[in-house]
Amino acid sequence: MTGTTRIPAAPITGVKGALIRRFATRTLGQVPTSIGVYWHHRAVLMDMAGMGRKLTRWDACDEQLKSFAHMAVASQVGCTWCLDFNYFEAHNKDLDMTKACEIPRWREADVFTALEREVLAYAEAMTETEPTVTDEMVASLRSQLGDAALIELTAVVAFANLTTRANVALGIESDGFAAACGLRPMAQRTAVGS
């Protein structure tokens, strides 16, 4: 659950604030801490939320692959908020929850297809500093997904890096969405080199 954010959440006020609080409560069961933190700069909040909404309308790449890629980024970066929220969203979108639960330890889990493993490795390679994406990774995914889907997947992973890194920097942690709807706990990430 949420600890103390590095910038305290602001009161979400005004007409627009009331609408946001009502929408968040209706769709999520609560107002996420992140909204209060980002409320200090409403243009950033609205633009990031707008981009997130636009991402959900893209349909060239399989929804499950995009969701798992976002969760892999969140797990690698350590964004508990994004990991929890995307797990909750995977449940709401009727995605494979056995697989979603195993994202933090996908290398050890035996539930993923070869393509899913390639997508997860690609997401992590994009997230490395410096990125470690190879020509072979792109060529393999391109042959399996096609150009439009690979571009869409790449944009989703890039957006995941934006949101996860911003949340971690601001100290925004899980709001407990998955636990609130009774989802089983996610697997714990295995330490690299273990």
Residue 184 has a pLDDT of 75
Helices 147-170 & 42-57 angle (0-180, nearest 10): 150
Q: In this structure, are residues 66 and 152 in contact, taking their beta carbons and an 8 Å threshold?
A: yes
pTM of structure: 0.92
Query: Looking at residue 194, what DSSP letter applies?
Result: -
Sign of CA dihedral 9, 38, 83, 50: positive
Can you tell me the distance from the alpha carbon of 159 to that of 166, in angstroms, rounded to the nearest whole number?
11
Cα torsion angle, 112, 114, 116, 120, sign: positive
| Cα Rg of the chain (Å, integer) | 17
Cα separation values, 67 from 96, 105, 168, 169, 174, Å: 10, 15, 19, 22, 17
130 upstream amide cis, omega within 30 of 0:
yes
Q: Does residue 88 contact residue 181 with C-beta atoms inside 8 Å? A: yes
Residue 109 burial by CB count (10 A; 0-12/13-18/19+): exposed, middle or buried?
A: middle
Which domains are present in the chain? 59-180 (1.20.1290.10)
What's the pLDDT score for residue 2?
Answer: 46
pLDDT of residue 1: 46
- Residue 192, pLDDT score: 54
Tens of each residue's pLDDT in the chain, 194 residues: 446 899 999 999 999 999 999 999 999 999 999 999 999 999 999 999 999 999 999 999 999 999 999 999 999 999 999 999 999 999 999 999 999 999 999 999 999 999 999 999 999 999 999 999 999 999 999 999 999 999 999 999 999 999 999 999 999 999 998 887 777 777 787 665 54
